[in-house]
Amino acid sequence: MPVRDAVPTDLATIASLIRDLAAYEHLEHEVVFDEAEMGEWLFGRDPVARVLLATEGDDEVVGMALYHATFSTFLGRPGIWLEDLFVMPAARGHGHGRALLEALMQRTPGRLEWAVLEWNQPAIEFYRRLGARPVDGWARWRWTAT
């Protein structure tokens, strides 16, 4: 399955995929980003996150993985935090999600980590088939700037 790094001209497509993901997760009310500002964070002088795109046919984008670098003090190695993985429903089951995750696995000598909504059984089963498991004993915490 073709996977490529996103470029600035992909910003509108990325924004659309994020909105589609939010709709799937019933979290549309949380999507408040300014597309131009997000473009600076993804493609500006000092990007803090990156995006891989899964494509079909004539470079039609059907999915994305938005991620950023992490560091494990215990491993002493960099890793990757997968913020969002999303494949359009019509393209699911064709290997795009696997291709995106395998591309990320090749980009880190450490670990690839992510969160999954507890109700999202199709995603949980997909991740288990890839050999991933939940991290026992840890709870996710969040602080948000106002």
Backbone φ, ψ for residue 8 (5° rounding): -50, -35
Contacts of 57 (CB under 8 A, 6+ apart): none
Q: Positive or negative, the Cα torsion across 85, 88, 102, 132?
A: positive
Q: Catalytic: which of 54, 115, 127, 140?
A: 127
127 is catalytic: yes
Task: Just list the catalytic residues.
Answer: 127
